[in-house]
Amino acid sequence: MTAAPPVVVTGAGGWLGRNLVRALAPERDIVRVLVERPDEAPLLELAGPSVEPVVGDVRDPVVVDRLFEDMGGATVFHAAGVIHPAGRTRPFFDVNVGGTQLVVDRAQRAAAGRFVHISSNSPFGANARPSDRFTEESDPNPYLGYGRSKAEAESIVVRSAERGDLDAIVLRPPWFYGPWGPDRQAQFLRAVRTGRFPLVGNGRQQRSMIHSRNLVEACRCAEAATEGGGRAYWVADAEPYELRSIFDGIRAAMEAEGLPVSRWRGPRLPRLGARVAVHGDRVLQALDRYVQPLHVLGELGDTIACDIAAARRDLGYRPRVGLVEGMRESIRWHRDRGDAL
């Protein structure tokens, strides 16, 4: 039996990265990981002796050179990126585009193996109608700065694959949930549990989501696939959820975990409210300003849903975790680390 190749993981201190490293460390001889802060390295080293942290910035050529040193044939999972920058929009392009270009260049120079690039739904904006689903044939329609940056990053990877310089597959996951989530996941869960999260419109908007274990499985499938090189694939939970159903699922998960759930008393906003938020977000981003609550509110009025049939067919992807089970895992993880829910 051929030994599994070594692995390089960028963004290893992030949501997907931590889940992915913990899944891969027990079965690989080398898991070389890039983390931004020194305090992130010891947490990942607990996953196993195969984990080799490199601390630094994905935009730094010296750091990325060290990441790929003696890693010929390694599988690369490029998960580093900025989703919600601190006040300014420039990091979208410095990190998501510039960082991707550097990682692609160094992967090529090192003669790395399969390159799995983690993209997003944001290069495609929102569905025109609640019944629509994004597919691999959908036309891009990037949503503001983050969407444009992720679209450019995808293009860098796909062009390299088309030239034959890189054996790459792009994954497009939507809204994440699951263990090792950032503080904003705990804040969201708490707002839903206490009945304070805003409901936009009638709540029938459809949203694709992906539990972190499902996304790890998608990464494994992309690494192993013999089909699909040079292509991008939508990956998500088995089916999209109505926004109201997401809230109901979280509340059911809270009750199953023994947490009290309050009657809904959050603001009910017309969809026009989300449209106003989108307009304000667009104006501010044009001025290099980013306000996370405004950005999130703007997305709540739309359907953002995808069809995962191509990933099922070409990659053998099978999502196994559903909403309530996945939310229960998320709740337990936050409670175990002392987060207020």
Domain boundaries, position 84: 7-181+207-240+304-319
pLDDT at position 1: 52
Does residue 201 come out as left (phi exceeding 0), alpha (psi in the -120 to 50 range) or beta?
A: left
3-state secondary structure 268-284: EECHHHHHHHHHHHHHH
Give the list of residues 6+ apart from residue 6 with CB closer than 8 angstroms, or none. Answer: 28, 29, 30, 31, 32, 71, 73, 74, 75
Mark 307-326 as b/e (b = at least 16 C-beta within 10 Å).
bbebbbebbebebebebeeb
Amino acid identity at 173 = P
Identify whether 44 is part of a domain. yes
Q: Can you list the positions of beta strands (E) in 44-167?
A: 51-55, 75-78, 115-118
Q: Can you list the positions of beta strands (E) in the chain?
A: 7-10, 31-35, 51-55, 75-78, 115-118, 168-172, 175-177, 199-200, 206-207, 209-211, 232-234, 241-242, 268-269
What is the side-by-side order of every strand in the sheet holding 51-55?
A: 51-55, 31-35, 7-10, 75-78, 115-118, 168-172, 232-234
The helix/strand/coil state of 80 is coil
Contact 177, 212 (CB under 8 A): yes
Q: To 10 degrees, the CA torsion angle through 36, 236, 165, 71?
A: 40
Can you give the CATH number for the domain in which 118 is found? 3.40.50.720
Pairing assessment for the beta strands 241-242 and 206-207 based on DSSP bridges: antiparallel
- For the chain, the distance separating the N- and C-terminal CA atoms, rounded to the nearest angstrom, is 47
- The candidate with the shortest Cα–Cα distance to 109, out of 137, 142, 71, is 71
Contact 218, 311 (CB under 8 A): yes
Half-sphere exposure in the Cβ direction for 103 (13 Å, CA): 33
What distance in Å separates the CA atoms of residue 172 and residue 306, rounded to the nearest whole number?
9
State the total domains in the chain.
1
pLDDT at position 2: 66
Identify whether 278 is part of a domain. no
Identify whether 68 is part of a domain. yes
Identify whether 281 is part of a domain. no
- The candidate with the shortest Cα–Cα distance to 311, out of 251, 228, 203, 245, is 228
The per-residue pLDDT string of the chain (341 residues; one tens digit each, 9 = 90 and over) reads: 567 899 999 999 999 999 999 999 999 999 999 999 999 888 888 888 999 999 999 999 999 999 999 999 999 999 999 999 998 999 999 999 999 999 999 999 999 999 999 999 999 999 998 899 999 999 999 999 999 999 999 999 999 999 999 999 999 999 999 999 989 999 999 999 999 998 898 999 999 999 999 999 999 999 999 877 899 999 999 999 999 999 999 999 999 999 999 988 878 888 888 899 999 999 999 999 999 999 999 999 999 999 999 999 999 999 999 999 999 999 999 999 999 99
Identify whether 329 is part of a domain. no
DSSP 8-state class, residue 89: S
Identify whether 292 is part of a domain. no
